Structures are given as structure tokens and as C-alpha cells.
Amino acid sequence: MMNQETATHLIHDRHERGHTNIAWLNSYHTFSFSNFYDPNRMGFRSLRVINDDRVTAGAGFGTHGHSDMEIITYVLQGAIEHRDSMGNGTVIYPGEVQIMSAGTGVTHSEFNHSQTDPLHFLQIWVLPDQNGLKPRYEQRSFPLKEKHGEFHCIASKNGKDGAVTIHQDVELYAAILESGDVVRYHLPPHRYAWLQIAGGIAELNDEELREGDGVQIRGEEELEVSTQFGAEILLFDLG
């Protein structure tokens, strides 16, 4: 399936993502990242990176640095161990969301917490609304039942409804759908959205999407997402 345009949608096909496959890491890049460069995939609005990472047992990313980026970790399977130069040492499980504002500069490492089981997670980068912020870390748990059959806000600029706080005009929603579920979202005028299929198979306004597919959406629209097979989805409401 090649990229397809409708009046307000552009589908980013999962098969056209960048791919890094080394001994311990199997990663797909929705947007240009590392050695993958596509001028048509440089991000969308303030959304800059969505990496779909699978890490073998006991392996991970050694200490490395970031600055002026909002970095969100969303675990799908397994657990990720995080350590950083701010003194944080945590483990993130499915149902939890971590955000790190790199700001003026921070170093961190990320490893598969398990010595026996694989790790699968999404790492998301969002450009901040200003550079030079003080680095910060936040991690919160969202019970799976809060995301079953509905969009639940997990990150926002004002931290509404217990969401983690992000320094950008973004609201990030997650939903876990079972067969027959339907969720709807009204995208206001002058807003943009990105829908990411984190797992399973779903339909957006009758268009079938599978794990790894993304859809950029422009302008006011009533979005209807359904599934006959089960799916986990993320929806970014972007300024």
C-alpha cells in the first residue's frame, strides 16, 4: 500500500518506514531518523520521531545525550529500565508513560529490564515550545481499564486529568480496543492529528490500518476508529 491521500488524510504506510536491524535491536522509524532519511517523512507539526523498538533480553541503549526535545516512552510489552543524569533510576511497564524533557541537556540509558523476555516499546520525540528548558522527568501509571474502549489522555501541556506534562501544544490519547469496539474523536478546526496503530488492526472511517501504520490528519473532522480484531492506538491532537 503506497501513501494515499484523501481530502484530509495522508496514510504513512508501515512498509515504507525506515528500518534498523542489528543483533539486539529491531527498530522501525515512522519519520527520518539515524541513517533513514526521507524528505517526506521529517515529522508532522511538532511530532518529530516515532520509533517502534524491539530489544532483546538484557540489551539496550548505553548512555547517550539529548537536548531540547520532549521524549515520551510508551511500553507495549516487557519492561524498560531507565537511568539518567538527573538521578532517576526507574523501570517502566505497560500501562505507564514516561516523559523526559531534555532541555539544556541530559544523558540517559535505556535497557531491557528482563534477562529472558523481549521488550517492545514506542519512543516518541516532540519538539518543545521553547529551547533551553530545565531538564525534567515524569512517570505515571494509567490503569489499562482507563484506556479500554475509549481515548484516555496520557500527555498534555497542562497535565489535565492526571496526564504527564509536555512542553508543547499537544494532547496525546491512548485507547485499547477489543473486537466490536468503536471510539470517536472530534478534531477541532485549525487543529491537526496523527493516529498511530501501536498494535492490532483497526479502521479509521472505514479505512483499514495495521500495526505500524500512521495517518496524518488536517482540519476539522469527526474521527471514528473501530476494530474487529483488537487494537492499541495512539492519537496525537496537535497545534
Tens digits of per-residue pLDDT, 139-150?
A: 999 988 889 999
The verdict on residue 85 lying in a domain is yes
| pLDDT tens digits, 36-52 | 999 989 999 999 999 99
Inside any domain, residue 3: no
Closest CA to 36 of 53, 9, 16, 56: 16
Amino acid at residue number 180: G
pLDDT at 1: 38
For the chain, the average pLDDT equals 94
pTM of the model: 0.94
Residue 151 belongs to a domain: yes
Judge whether 4 lies within some domain.
no
Rounded Cα distance between 117 and 138, Å, is 25
Report whether 37 contacts 79 (CB < 8 A): no
Q: Residue 73 sits in a domain of what CATH number? A: 2.60.120.10
192 — pLDDT class (breaks 50, 70, 90)? very high
Q: Does a structural domain hold residue 210?
A: yes
pLDDT digits (tens, 9 = 90+) for 99-136: 999 999 999 999 999 999 999 999 999 999 999 999 99
Does residue 106 lie within any of the structural domains?
yes
pLDDT of residue 145: 84
User: Which of the four pLDDT bands, split at 50, 70 and 90, describes residue 189?
Assistant: confident
How many folded domains does the chain comprise? 1
149 assigned to some structural domain: yes
Query: Does 160 fall in a domain?
Result: yes
Q: What is the dihedral of CA 222, 96, 199, 191, to 10 degrees?
A: 20
Find the domain containing 138 and state its range: 9-238
